[in-house]
Amino acid sequence: MADKNDIWQGTLALMVLKTIEALGPIHGYGIARRIEQTSGDRLDLNYGTLYPALLKLEQEGAVTSEWGFSDNNRKAKFYSLTADGRARVAKATREWQETADIMARFLTKGGVA
């Protein structure tokens, strides 16, 4: 199996927000598993990285949290997007798409000579 990659600086918040946007209220473990699954298991997300990111997003007003119970009846904190979080997702998605489009120009055969 290939080595897993680290998450690029500045991308974790968007991955977390997009995951919550797609799945609705979800706990941290579910977010981590979904990010790893979506990456085709090429990203390695540790909880020492995820939970501080979730706390920061909550402090910034992008997500809210509420205690509840997971599918296996364990107490867990569930995260949901706020209106500010939805706006942030839309803006960051546009910015990353533009960046990817620019990089694609450099990575294609007809790119930089």
pTM of the model: 0.85
Taking residues 36-42, what's their average pLDDT? 92
Structure tokens at 16: 């977390």
pLDDT(23) > 90 = yes
pLDDT(20) > 70 = yes
Q: Give alpha helix (H) positions in 1-113.
A: 12-23, 28-38, 47-59, 83-107
Taking residues 44-58, what's their average pLDDT? 91
- In this prediction, residue 10 carries a pLDDT of 73
pLDDT(1) > 50 = no
Residue range 12-106 forms a domain whose CATH class is: mainly alpha
